[in-house]
Structure 1
């Protein structure tokens, strides 16, 4: 693959994640082609871009940012033609990804990177469907919503060329993302595995009657979640360890207490009763709240937090 500047991005699938990616790419001044087979997809996409644009304007637009640089096509092949990078956001089904990436590999220029936003599927499960250039298929998993959250998890499959991963890392970094490199494949990647580990114990706490749905939410939102928004788990442990740092904490009494609690973590039963209990708990938690206002406040604070973090050079 030859080195090329990435100026034209094709977005395949324009649901919640895809529309957010489109908005992000346009805000960075890129030319975007898009496609989605659903009825009314183009109208919904353009409405989503318009809805996201005020937040992106507040974050800061590139000098060449323009919603008019979006073109919608009827097929993935048409959208991928001439693209420097393809960002796929299709359903979480291996069979569909195999079919789609085979078509994208045929249609996209030789230099183009083929990236998937998949949350759970590993690149090695479908990249061999690309007869021409399986080495250019990568993982580029964002955290929702991509136009506000900087994280992108970048990695390859068994056939991916290391230079393609490096080029993708440079691209996402250049458009204001915070890419991390997965050294090997794992189902769910990094962020989802960590998130699901937390969900598992949250479900157990509710199912075993330790605390309510609302109080579990409060325990994170008003406790460790505030620190986790600034530093990751290891640095938070280190700062909690005093002069001895993470070594002193883990080698002391809290180290043993941690392993003791690991042995007691729950294995909740994921059944209809559990789903009902969680859904009822969330409904009760939201009964006195305006959900639209809550989401607006969340997004506003996310914008401020991401902006302030970027300006705080002492933070990693």
Structure 2
């Protein structure tokens, strides 16, 4: 493992933390986990077992074992021997400030402290740490045990070396880290998602399409292409032999016109109810577990196929 990061602490073991723990175990690491919620240890172990078949299908590292998971009632005990700490607590700034101050006080000097925060700035999170230089952003995409992306960045007191160490660690795990070069709400991928969500909610509110049809438009239209390449490369291919230069010369104006016409909905109670009812109708008799299992099976196959080809990387 890069940089001798062999023992990882997972702080908070909800959906994201449990997925991280499963990935770390599958990569042959020792994992110390902690979460103050009642019943957290059993939920974590159940989640790891549920994720394990997909990780086996991806391929386990030498020494990978669910037996290398230890659960601790106290945060300080979980981080005291860690080389790397992955925090995935509630998306509440003051809670994270407190967590990082405690982790910073208890973790070895060598340990990198990473937050899975979906959109909070690291500068604010590291403010109460005595060693703020080791605090970094390590935001995964759900579920972390399958999706390769990790957004990595620092705060005002984080040196480039700490960001580079985190990126090297995630790369060694088989992840695809990208560098968030400037702090911004929601980082990169969530801002891209938010832009799409805004228009999706707008189209439903305006009666242009049902919830199911909006999902179908993405899943059977741009979605398959975007699973292979990002928006800029897709635009380049849409330009044919002339590439993106030809595309922008001919469609730049219309695209800008569409931008000006995009919606700006408010997340009021009526719109929330409309979307909730639309999702329930689209689900029908299927459970969330049914959908999750089908998604993960398809994701595993897609990601395996992508790993076998570097042409679209």
Shorter-chain TM-score: which interval? over 0.9
After superposition, give the CA deviation of every residue in 1:230-264 in whole Å (9 maximum; x if it has no partner).
Answer: 00000000000111111111122x11000001110
Partner residue of 2:179? Answer: 181
User: How do residues 242-281 of structure 1 correspond to structure 2 at under 5 angstroms?
Assistant: 242-252=240-250, 254-281=251-278
Partner residue of 2:143? Answer: 145
CA distance in 1, matches of 2:306, 2:23: 19
Partner residue of 1:219? Answer: 217
Partner residue of 2:40? Answer: 41
Partner residue of 1:81? Answer: 80
Aligned match of 2:280 in 277, 283, 308?
283
User: How do residues 191-230 of structure 1 correspond to structure 2 at under 5 angstroms?
Assistant: 191-230=189-228
Matched residue count = 312
Secondary structure at 2:32's aligned position in 1? Answer: strand
Secondary structure at 1:10's aligned position in 2? Answer: strand
Partner residue of 1:24? Answer: 23
Deviation of the 1:112 alpha carbon: 0.5
Secondary structure at 1:114's aligned position in 2? Answer: strand
Secondary structure at 2:95's aligned position in 1? Answer: helix
CA distance in 2, matches of 1:21, 1:159: 26
CA distance in 2, matches of 1:271, 1:179: 35
Whether the 8 Å CA contact 2:3–2:165 is kept in 1: the answer is no
Deviation of the 1:288 alpha carbon: 4.4
Q: CA RMSD in A?
A: 1.1
TM-score by length of 2: 0.98
Deviation of the 1:84 alpha carbon: 0.4
Q: Does 1:304 align with 2:304?
A: no
Secondary structure at 2:151's aligned position in 1? Answer: strand
Deviation of the 1:76 alpha carbon: 1.3
Partner residue of 1:94? Answer: 93
Deviation of the 1:161 alpha carbon: 1.1
Secondary structure at 1:129's aligned position in 2? Answer: coil
Q: Which is further off, 92-101 or 22-31?
A: 92-101
Name stretches of at least 5 consecutive residues in structure 2 with no aligned partner.
none
After superposition, give the CA deviation of every residue in 1:66-125 in whole Å (9 maximum; x if it has no partner).
Answer: 111111111111111010000001111111111111111110111100000000111011
Aligned match of 2:153 in 152, 155, 176?
155
Whether the 8 Å CA contact 2:202–2:264 is kept in 1: the answer is yes
Whether the 8 Å CA contact 1:4–1:84 is kept in 2: the answer is no
Whether the 8 Å CA contact 1:116–1:140 is kept in 2: the answer is yes
Deviation of the 1:293 alpha carbon: 2.8
Whether the 8 Å CA contact 2:8–2:32 is kept in 1: the answer is yes
Deviation of the 1:294 alpha carbon: 2.6
Deviation of the 1:145 alpha carbon: 0.4
Whether the 8 Å CA contact 1:6–1:84 is kept in 2: the answer is yes
Name stretches of at least 5 consecutive residues in structure 1 with no aligned partner.
none
Deviation of the 1:291 alpha carbon: 4.0
Deviation of the 1:4 alpha carbon: 4.5
CA distance in 2, matches of 1:293, 1:104: 37
After superposition, give the CA deviation of every residue in 1:204-250 in whole Å (9 maximum; x if it has no partner).
Answer: 00101111111000000000000000000000000001111111111
CA distance in 2, matches of 1:178, 1:27: 17
CA distance in 1, matches of 2:254, 2:129: 49
CA distance in 1, matches of 2:92, 2:136: 16
Deviation of the 1:269 alpha carbon: 2.2
Whether the 8 Å CA contact 2:29–2:64 is kept in 1: the answer is yes
Secondary structure at 2:237's aligned position in 1? Answer: helix
